Amino acid sequence: MPTTEPAHRGVKICGLTEAAGFDACIEHGADWVGFVFFERSPRNISPVQAQQLSARHKGGPKRVGLFVRPDDETLERVLNGVSLDVLQLYATAERAQAIKARFGLPLWLSQPVSSRAELPTTCTVERILIEPKPPAQATRPGGNAQKLDWGLLSGWQPNFAWMLAGGLNPANVAHAIAQTGAPAVDVSSGVESAPGIKSPQAIATFITQARGAAG
C-alpha cells in the first residue's frame, strides 16, 4: 500500500486539546497531530474544537483523526466539522476496508501485540500502528501510557509503513527507536502535564530525542 513517508523519522503527537500543545507541535515540526474522537478518552475533542485548533496554522503537520470502532454516522459528523488528512482506526481490517471505500481517506490501523507471533506480515491500509494490548481494566484501547516489550520487534523489518506507539516519552523514545528501528513514533500520555493537557516543553524534547535517535 503506497504511503508518503517523511524524509526523517516521523513523529506524531496525539490527543491535542488546547492551543499551547498544538502550537508546540507546529513550532517543533511534528509530522502529524492527532485529534481523539472517543468519548471515554480524557483527550476527547469535538469536531468544532478540533477545527478551531487546526485553523491556528495552515499547513504543517498532517491532521489525524483517531476513532474507536466508529460507525459511518460518527465519521460523517466529524468529517463534516473538521478537515482530516488521515483516519487512525481501532477496528477490524474488514471494517477499515469499508471505511476506505466510503470515505476515501488514508487509513492507519492499530495492531495491538503481546507476542512476536502477533506481528503483522501484510498491510492493507496506509500504515499499521504497533502498540501493546491495553491493561485488562482499561476503559480505552490506547492512550494508557503502557509500554510495549520493544524486544518483540528486534530484527522485524516489514515492507510496509508502520509506527511504534505506547508508553513512549522524552526519556525513553531514543532507546525505543534504537531497539526497534521504528521509522515513526506516536505519543500521547508521555508528553502531558495532566491527562489531556500537553506540555510544550515535553513535546519539544520528545521531537528532538526522536529525530536524534539512531535506529
Binding residues vs ligand LGQLAAA5 (CB under 6 A): 14-15, 34, 36, 38, 41, 43, 66, 68, 90, 129, 131, 140-146, 165-168, 186-190
Cβ 26 to ligand LGQLAAA5 shortest distance, Å: 18
**Cβ proximity to ligand LGQLAAA5, 144 vs 180, nearer residue:** 144
Cβ 205 to ligand LGQLAAA5 shortest distance, Å: 15
Cβ 139 to ligand LGQLAAA5 shortest distance, Å: 9
**Cβ proximity to ligand LGQLAAA5, 36 vs 207, nearer residue:** 36
Question: What string of DSSP letters covers the chain?
Answer: ------SS-EEEEE---SHHHHHHHHHTT-SEEEEEE-TTSTTB--HHHHHHHHTTSSSSSEEEEEEES--HHHHHHHHHHS--SEEEEES-HHHHHHHHHHH---EEEEEEESSGGGS-S--SSSEEEEEEPPPTT-SSSS-S-PPP-GGGGTT---SS-EEEESS--TTTHHHHHHHH--SEEEESGGGEEETTEE-HHHHHHHHHHHHH---
Cβ 119 to ligand LGQLAAA5 shortest distance, Å: 17
Distance CA 110, CA 160 (A): 14
**Cβ proximity to ligand LGQLAAA5, 43 vs 101, nearer residue:** 43
Residue 11's CB: how many other CB atoms inside 10 A?
Answer: 28
**Cβ proximity to ligand LGQLAAA5, 38 vs 150, nearer residue:** 38
Cβ 89 to ligand LGQLAAA5 shortest distance, Å: 10
**Cβ proximity to ligand LGQLAAA5, 90 vs 101, nearer residue:** 90
Cβ 157 to ligand LGQLAAA5 shortest distance, Å: 21
Lookup: cell for 93: 481490517
What residue number has its CB nearest to ligand LGQLAAA5?
Answer: 143
